[in-house]
Each structure stands twice: as structure tokens, then as C-alpha cells.
Structure 1
């Protein structure tokens, strides 16, 4: 096959069967979102590079596909939709009353090391709830995600929940070493006890704090782990995070179709997200 017919690494061809399945899923999800009061929004396929870099999401500058316009401006194919929506809201909705509810279905582009065989173009569906502070917004999004998963045919799943402030509070005990903090956060996320033990041995920590760090990899499960964690010597930031997770659990436990696990080491987007974070189940692509 000549080079003119080669497909670039990290992208896919969607043939009619896959397209039909994709459109069916999009229709189901779109109907649910609109019933919940969310309106579809379409972001540009590219923005100024600075829009994404200034968002604060770590690693964006290294992951974007960049190019120059004819005036010399540095552009980037969107690696994320949330950043574009934040810009759109600031531009077009600054005088609108909250809350605002938007959703999107779009492809995004991120440079990935191809030795790992990862996609460089993939599709995202997301809901953005803007202007409702606190745990009520988290509950709405979790319920919405659960409903969408069920409606597209994923009947059995568990939503994994953590709190950025809990991990931040623990990492605050490591003084003036951002590199070590990042490695410790990754070791906790990976539940790698040996690596975590080696890392904490290199830092002067109080014995009780070191004990807390080393206990984290085994804490994953139901709400009972929140009761266990509160027994450890924790600072106020950690205690506040556990209190919010407990409140979330108490408000959601009445919904029989919501299955949650708690993971205090959930560390995705530590420099980008705030408050409660959650992950849907991982598995094979839906289409």
C-alpha cells in the first residue's frame, strides 16, 4: 500500500456498522441530557494554544497538535472541550443567571506515545453544570452519568469516587519538594506499596504521617473506609474532604441503582480539578 493510503497512527476508521452504533448511543445520551435541562453546545475544533495552556491542566502543552495561522498565531487542535466551554461561557454568558447546563459530543486530539498504542483522536460526551456550588452539583452529575450508562446498556457498573482535597492535604505534609509530591501521588494512584514505601523513606516525615501514607493503597471500597480513615492523624484539609465524601454517600445511598466505591487515592487531574472527582467504569469501547 502506498503512503497515500496509510492511516496515521492513533486514529480510527468508522465503517457503517460502527457509525450506526455510535449514532444510536449519541441519540440516547442526547435525549437524556436534554430531558435534564442540558443544551448542546459546539466548540471550535481549534483555539489559540494559550487558551488551553492557561487553563492550568497539566501536560496540555506537550499533548496538543500545534500549527500556525497565516498571521503567525499559534493554534492548537482541541485536546479538551471543557476549556473551550469555559471560554465560551465567559464570552457569551457573563450576564446570564446561574445555573447553566451545557453538553457536548465531539472529537478531541491529543498527542500520545505510539509505542503505547493509544488513540490520538477520540470522542467525548460531557455535561457541564455551571453555577451550582457544593455537593449538589456533584450529585446531579453522578446521577446523570449513572442514568446514561444504564440507558446505553451498561447495567452493572461501579462509580469510583475520591476527593482532590484529601490527597492535597496529605501531600502538604511533604515540604518543598514538588517532584517528590508528584511521584508519591502517582504511587498512591497506582496503589504501589513498594514504590510508596521507598519514596516516603527518602523524606523526613513524622512516623504517624508516614503510617498514613503507607496505609492508603489498601483503602478502596464502601463507605466503611471513610470511618477507618478518619481514625488516622489527618490535617483539617483531609478531614474536610472525608466529611464531604460522607455527606455525598448519605445523600446518594437512597438511590438503589447507584453503586459507589471510595478511593482516597484517586488523583486524576490533581493540578486541574478541585473537590470531588469520580471515574466511570473502565472497559471496552462502546462503539
Structure 2
């Protein structure tokens, strides 16, 4: 019992002062990019009815959700993914509006994953959803936003891999593969388990040509040239249309001047089967998993009774933080400007000065001078405080620059 009092459960952790400041700054920069693109903040509940994340919606497997009952016997879940929550909100709150909606959000999601995967079970997502537009320009804008967001937090060496769910679905259609096998095949391909993929295809008795195309999906990885190579493998209209769209998206990304951050991975098939068009993931050094996941989901809102195309993404803030730390990227965070000390006689004056300085936008820590000044100097240095104002009398105040250790005594009246 006592051990559990002192420890956090598997997959969650405390975030301490300086790290919390850095996380806040990273989130601020990302959200600023979202706002500059005209996206507006929304918030959805931390827990929802389990129906929002049902199997039919193509979201996270139910076994990976945190589930509990409310007092009325309803099954609730901690949201494992924020996109379905936004889709529900759109369907219930904006169903009479036909104009496009630009939503952005920042919040925590929860997944009850196996402990051996060494992933966080509570993690922060910063994301956007562009609802009501179905064209290449919307897809390209979303990918450009991802890139600008990662650049804004200081990352430079990263890559956005883009795939196309429509290409994969077209290949399955051409092969005559029953849709009931699609989810299993998608999961195996997403896990890069190609031995199991081959065994599954063998059991379905596919002809060698279609089997080879599906097994060769990982080979279609690289620059824009792989799209043309992929076109030679299929005659399916759905698959070819998906590839044409990818080429158009790339052309627009060139207009955004971000093509150097983009590659194509036609073997990318997300386990979230609500994706219907482009799918993409962002990778960088310092983390073994993607730092961004996104794509087009034109049928998800239909699950909530509202038909509208949509495209979006979520940045996993915690993984971005890991990458920034391991790449030794400096994130400047604000610290306390001044430690203001006083005794009983000078308390009223010191509090008045502190209030004025705070109104001017400064960060002021205030406290009774109940220990040696040198101890306060050491405390200030340890906590990156800029300086100390020591109101040791009603007439004079001692100023200490903690960077240079220079000390000056000035008349209190000079502060007013």
C-alpha cells in the first residue's frame, strides 16, 4: 500500500517545474501556428460514452480503452483519441451549418496499452480538424501546418511520410479480397509483420500478381517518383485516383516550399480505419515512434449522423518533447525576474513594489527575509532568478544581480 502511495501507475508520470515550463512553451508555439492558419480552439470532455469510440467508427480497439460505469450504469471511456470527440461535437453542435469549420485543440488522451510497449498511457495531443472541404488544397494545407508546427518548436531534421488509404483499398478491391479481411491485413501491414501478411494472403488463395503487389507495398517508399512506379502495378480506378491525388498534393506542397520535409510511403496503412484518403506520420530522431499522426476521414462524421469530409492531425506533444531533449534543442522558458525580500517593518512597502512590478509584466517571487542573504542568493541561482531586491530597511533596498553577483544599495524613494 505504501509503495503505491509513492509511485505513479504504469504509463503515467509527473512533470516537474522546468520540464512543465518547456512543455507549456512547446504547446504555446504549436497552438500559435494553428491560430495563424485561422483555426479556432475547441474543447471536448475527457470522458465520453463508449459509443463515440465504437468499433464501427474505426477508432482504437476497445481493449485499449479505460472504461468505467457512471451512476446510471452507462459505460464511459477516457478518450483514447480526440478526433472522434470533435466529430461528435461537429455533428451535434454544427449540423445546420454548411460552411467549413476549422477546429484546433489541446488535451490529454488515454490508452490502456500493454506495458511492454513502453509508451505513455496518458499523453498530450495538439491537433486540428478541417471539416467540410474535400480537395487537394485542404490536404496540402494540413500537411504544411504540421511542418510549420514542428519548425516552430525548433525541430529541423524531421520527415513527414505520406500514404494513401484509397490506394490500399483500391488494391484490395482489385484483388477481390473480402472486406472482412481488410482490418486484419491493415493491422499486420501497419505492424510491418510481413511474414504474417504472406501467410494470410496464402490462406486466401490470391493469385500471384495481386499477392506480389500487396507484399511489395513497403518498397513503394521514397520521393515523389514512387507514385509513378506504383501506378504501373494496378489498373484499379480507385487506386489510380488516389495516386493522382498524391501527386497534386505534392505539387501544392512545393508551392508551400516544404517539399524537402516530405516523403511517400504507400505501405503506410493506419490501424485507425476511419481514414479514407491521405494518411501521414511525422518522424524525427530521439523517439522510436511517430510524433504526428493524421489523415483524411471523410466518412467518420456519418457515424454521428452528419455527412461531411474532413482532414486533420494530432501532434503527440510528449514525443516532441523527448525528441527536443535528445537532440539538445534549447527551449527558452521564462523564469522569475526578481526575488523580493522584506522584514516585518518593510512588508507593506515591499508588497506594494511587488504588485506594481507584476502589473508591469514581471515575474516576482516575494518572501520574508528569515534566512541569511547568501542562502537566498544560492536559492535564486539554483532557480534561475534574475536578481534580488532586499528591503532590509524602510529607507534603503539592496539590489543583487545574480548573474554578476554585483550588489548595490539604493534609496527606496528611487523605486517610486
For the criterion TM > 0.5, the same-fold answer is yes
CA distance in 1 between counterparts of 2:79 and 2:189 reads 30
Structure 1 segment 243-254 matched on structure 2, within 5 A:
243-254=244-255
Match of 1:236 in 2: 237
Identify the residue that residue 164 of structure 2 maps to in structure 1.
163
**Matching of residues 2-151 of structure 1 within 5 Å:** 2-53=3-54, 56-151=57-152
Judge conservation of contact 1:164–1:270 (CA < 8 Å) in 2: no
Residue 278 of structure 2 corresponds to residue 276 of structure 1:
yes
**Which stretch shifts more, 247-256 or 160-169?**
247-256
Partner residue of 2:267? 265
2-structure distance, mates of 1:234, 1:90: 37
**Equivalent residue, structure 2, for 1:224:** 225
Deviation per residue, 1:162-196 (Å, 9 max, x gap): 110111112231533734x4444345445555444
Structure 1, residues 219-276: CA drift from partner, whole Å, max 9, x if none? 2001111111111233111111111111111222233333211111110145211111
Instruction: Tell me how far apart the structure 2 counterparts of residues 94 and 166 of structure 1 sit (CA, whole Å).
Output: 30
Name the SS of the counterpart of 1:280 in structure 2. Answer: strand
Gap change, CA 1:50 and 1:233, over 3 Å in 2: closer
Paired position in structure 1 for 2:299: none
- With over 3 angstroms needed to count, the CA separation of the structure-2 counterparts of 1:70 and 1:147, relative to structure 1, is same
- State the aligned residue count: 286
Q: Is the 8 A contact 1:60 1:79 kept in 2?
A: no
Structure whose CA Rg is larger: 2
What is the DSSP-based 3-state SS (H/G/I as helix, E as strand, rest coil) of the residue aligned with 2:141? Answer: helix
Given that 2:39 and 2:102 are in contact with CA atoms closer than 8 Å, whether structure 1 keeps it comes out as: yes
Out of 174, 178, 181, the residue aligned to residue 180 of structure 2 is 178
Cα distance change of structure 1 residues 257 and 242 upon mapping to structure 2, 3 Å threshold: closer
Structure 1 vs Structure 2 CA RMSD? 2.1
Structure 1 length-normalised TM: 0.91
1:56/1:5 Cα in 2 relative to 1: closer, same or farther (>3 Å)? same
Helix, strand or coil: the match of 2:263? strand
Aligned 8 A contact 2:159 2:262 in 1: yes
Structure 2 alignment gaps of length 5 or more = 288-318, 322-416
In 2, the alpha carbon distance for the partners of 1:246 and 1:18 equals 41
- TM-score for the superposition, normalised by structure 2: 0.64
Instruction: Tell me the distance in 2 between the aligned counterparts of 1:248 and 1:18.
Output: 37
Counterpart-to-counterpart distance in 2, 1:233 and 1:142: 27
Deviation sequence 1:7-26 (CA, Å, 0-9, x none):
11110110011100011011
SS in 1 for 2:53: helix
Deviation by residue 1:37-89 (Cα, 9 ceiling, x = unmatched): 11111111111111221661244422211111111111111111111111212
Select the structure with the greater relative contact order (CA < 8 A; seq sep ≥ 6).
1
Pairwise CA distance, 1:197 = 3.8
What is the Cα deviation at residue 93 of structure 1?
Answer: 1.8
Equivalent residues of 1:225, 1:262 under 8 A apart: yes
Stretch of structure 1 that moved more, 204-213 or 81-90: 204-213
| Secondary structure of 2:123 counterpart | strand
Helix, strand or coil: the match of 1:253? helix
Q: CA deviation at 1:150?
A: 0.4
The 3-state SS of whatever aligns with 2:57 is coil
